[in-house]
Amino acid sequence: MQEEVKIEFQNENETILEYEEIMQRLNRLDEKVEFVSAEIAQRTGRKIGRDIGILYGIFAALLLALLFFMLKNYFSFIL
């Protein structure tokens, strides 16, 4: 009912060398994937940081304009 599967290697040393070569290639590919994903994350972070900086700038400008007009009206009543 159950058949046993036997794998016989002709030369075990070649199999080990092939395995090590494949692992080295996989490690190089893994490094490239990590580098690309890090670059994408960095670009995304820069875009988000820029957008937040723009919003802070708009908020600060509106606050200064509001303060300016409030002070202008205050001093115009005094004089």
Q: Which two tokens stand for residue 59?
A: 């908020």
> What distance in Å separates the CA atoms of residue 5 and residue 27, rounded to the nearest whole number?
31
pLDDT at 11 over 60: yes
Question: 17: pLDDT confidence band, cut at 50, 70 and 90?
Answer: confident
Q: Do residues 15 and 9 touch, judged by C-beta distance below 8 A?
A: yes
Of 16 and 29, the structure prediction assigns the larger pLDDT to: 29
Cα(51)–Cα(24) distance, integer angstroms = 41
What is the value of pTM for the model shown?
0.58
**For residue 8, pLDDT beyond 70:** no
